[in-house]
Amino acid sequence: MTISKNVNSAKKLQHPQCYISVPSDIITTLSSTHLNSLIDTPKKTAAVAKVSLFSRFKILVKSPKIFCFLLLFVCGLFVMLKMLCSFDPFGSYPCGNSVDEKSDLGVFGKGVVDGNNDKKGVKKMSEFWVQPDGLGYRPCLDFSNEYKKVSGEILKDRSKYLVVVVSGGMNQQRNQIVDAVVIARILGATLVVPILQVNVIWGDESEFADIFDVEHFKKTLADDVRIISSLPSNHLMSRPVEEKHTPLHVSPQWIRSRYLRRMRREGVLLLRGLDSRLSKDLPSDLQKLRCKVAFHALRFAPPIFELGNKLTERMRSKGPYLALHLRMEKDVWVRTGCLPGLSSKYDQIIYNERKSRPELLTSRSNMTSHDRKLAGLCPLNAVEVTRLLKALRAPKDAKIFWAGGDPLGGKEALLPLTKAYPYLYNKQDLALPGELLPFANKASIMAALDYIVSENSDVFMPSHGGNMGRAIQGHRAYAGHKKTITPNKRQMLSYFLDPKLSEAKFNKIIYDLHRDSMGQPVIRTSKSDHDVTKYPIPECMRNDTMVQRPL
């Protein structure tokens, strides 16, 4: 259920650090004579300093004007730091959590956009950039005392080891890594840093350390699960118990009853194909652990993180921007059973590919492409994305970062979008010559760069759900409910296919359909099929006041 907007907006979670630099020429002016005098006569120097400071303090006390001036200066300095750097020495992480949100959550600006117009002639910003009311929700990972008590026993255990092999694209692997940590916790086992299976579609051979910051991953989860880079030598020659056929959505009880005895006997358990194997309906502490892994522990490796932030700054220098995740690649059309809507030539290409490799179709093979579209199972093409953006009042000069692989049909496929919104960029457009070269043929790393720029955008919209769309929606919610547009495909597509509707009426209908799909706080009521990493309320975020209304 969504929450009514009668509470003040959440404060920004952005906490940039402040530094005071000292010029090197000041340091170099300290001669060896000065330094030696400090070493030779420490007591005398200290005594002189003490007397001097005491004398100055007496002068200040006797001179109220100087004392008041100094007090005002200190207060002014404090206020300046507060304004410029969000400096708050009395602030604490919500719920007393020790995880550093500045370093783990990344750059989480809610944007500098304001729908108001001042009286100095500054141009009024479009309402499209106005952020939703976050209702004061903030991250809150308050693990129970029982969880903390059991942690000590789990971290001491050296008898059980869990090895996992994760598959798919970067975001799919990310989901499986989250579940791998939780499964290790359930079993009280030491987790070996997950192994990334070579992607069969893109041939990406990236390893965990190529994509994620391993040391940060271990350090962040040090109080929850013991994580090591490789198996101890006494287990290297042993044959692990391998499980390939874990059912979907299993409970913690099922995992313990199935694996615990064998782990104790053999010492090592090997799991493959964890996608959607762990239930989404877990005890509260395990849900909080999932959030801790997804939003704090899985930070991208420094080279990716740094370049992603550079691309973000280059995009932001153009003004507020929309990140658009376009799913128009050839494999997407094949897997979803949908048609790209370009021409009969491209429709035939998809038809032939699907006929030769029917195993690629993900589900519901008995549905026609038209039925799939009406059911909201197809990605939006460029024509539909353009019409949706116009209906949602995106300004014509909107700066758009588009994430995703090369669309089937190349630039031709994007023409309807580029004609309406000419300021369209991707990571290749933003990168300097040679910057992307180290990551050539690394689809997972390219996806990670898209993730960073998209997550930091003023507005985000996916053309299709998918793993990346869901992950970024949850990340932006956890960062303070930054504006995220969720296309209501099932309800809106019948209007897209109605030629009788005038443009004005069409735009009003589509706009009204999306009033409550702009990233407002949503309570995760359906525990079985809604992932906490997409809907982090109520397990991972909290507000003192919670006013709710039905969806």
Q: Please name which of 504, 515, 480 lies closest in space to residue 127, comparing C-alpha atoms.
A: 515
* Residue 102, in any domain of the structure: no
d(CA 398, CA 359): 40
Structure tokens at 443: 């689809």
Of 297, 313, 336, the one marking the end of a domain is 297
Return the bridge partners of 162, or none. 191, 269
pLDDT at 67: 55
| Range from 154-168, 230-244, 277-291 carrying the lowest mean pLDDT | 230-244
Residue 368 has pLDDT above 70, yes or no: yes
pLDDT at 62: 53
pLDDT at 367: 85
Q: Are residues 337 and 271 in the same domain?
A: no
d(CA 184, CA 189): 5
d(CA 363, CA 113): 41
Q: Are residues 220 and 312 in the same domain?
A: no
pLDDT digits 0-9 by tens, 166-178:
998 899 999 999 9
How high is the mean pLDDT of the chain? 81
Q: Are residues 381 and 494 in the same domain?
A: yes
| Angle value at C-alpha 194, between 190 and 199, nearest 5 degrees | 165
Q: Are residues 279 and 314 in the same domain?
A: no
CATH number at residue 201: 3.40.50.11340
Domain that holds residue 461: 302-543
Q: Are residues 436 and 526 in the same domain?
A: yes
Residue 540 has pLDDT above 90, yes or no: yes
Domain count, the chain: 2
3-class DSSP string for 314-365: HHHCCCCEEEEECCCCHHHHHHHCCCCCCCHHHHHHHHHHHHHCHHHCCCCC
Which residues have C-beta within 8 Å of that of residue 237, sequence separation ≥ 6? none
Of 268, 297, 326, the one marking the end of a domain is 297
Q: What is the mean pLDDT of residues 161-165?
A: 95
User: What ranges in 407-455 are assigned the alpha helix state H?
Assistant: 411-420, 427-430, 443-455
Q: Are residues 423 and 503 in the same domain?
A: yes
Q: How far is CA 103 from CA 245, 460, 519, 530, in A?
A: 37, 22, 23, 27
pLDDT band at 355 (very low <50, low <70, confident <90, very high): confident
% of the chain beyond a pLDDT of 70: 74
pLDDT at 74: 55
Q: Are residues 411 and 316 in the same domain?
A: yes
d(CA 71, CA 114): 35
Q: What is the mean pLDDT of residues 266-291?
A: 94
pLDDT digits 0-9 by tens, 407-445:
999 999 999 999 999 999 999 999 999 999 999 889 999
Q: Are residues 165 and 290 in the same domain?
A: yes
pLDDT at 346: 94
To the nearest 10°, report the CA torsion of 196, 197, 199, 205: 60
Q: Are residues 271 and 407 in the same domain?
A: no
pLDDT at 28: 37
pLDDT at 440: 87
Of 297, 331, 355, the one marking the end of a domain is 297
pLDDT at 63: 60
Q: Are residues 404 and 459 in the same domain?
A: yes
CB atoms within 10 A of CB 453: 28
Q: Are residues 265 and 375 in the same domain?
A: no
* Residue 407, in any domain of the structure: yes
Cis previous bond, 252, omega within 30: no
pLDDT digits 0-9 by tens, 497-533:
899 999 999 999 999 999 999 999 999 987 666 899 9
> b or e along 499-523 (b: 16 or more beta carbons within 10 Å of the residue's beta carbon)?
eeeeeeebbeebeebbeebbbbbbb
pLDDT at 204: 84
* Residue 60, in any domain of the structure: no
Structure tokens at 389: 């953006």
| Range from 168-177, 178-187, 227-236, 340-349 carrying the lowest mean pLDDT | 227-236
pTM exceeding the 0.85 threshold for the entire prediction:
no
pLDDT band at 95 (very low <50, low <70, confident <90, very high): low
The enclosing H or E element of 150 equals helix 145-156
* Residue 412, in any domain of the structure: yes
* Residue 140, in any domain of the structure: no
pLDDT at 245: 80
Q: Are residues 393 and 422 in the same domain?
A: yes
Sign of CA dihedral 183, 184, 185, 191: negative
pLDDT digits 0-9 by tens, 31-41:
333 333 333 33
* Residue 14, in any domain of the structure: no
pLDDT at 29: 36
Residue 302 has pLDDT above 60, yes or no: yes
Contact 295, 100 (CB under 8 A): no
pLDDT band at 451 (very low <50, low <70, confident <90, very high): very high
d(CA 413, CA 426): 15
* Residue 529, in any domain of the structure: yes
* Residue 485, in any domain of the structure: yes
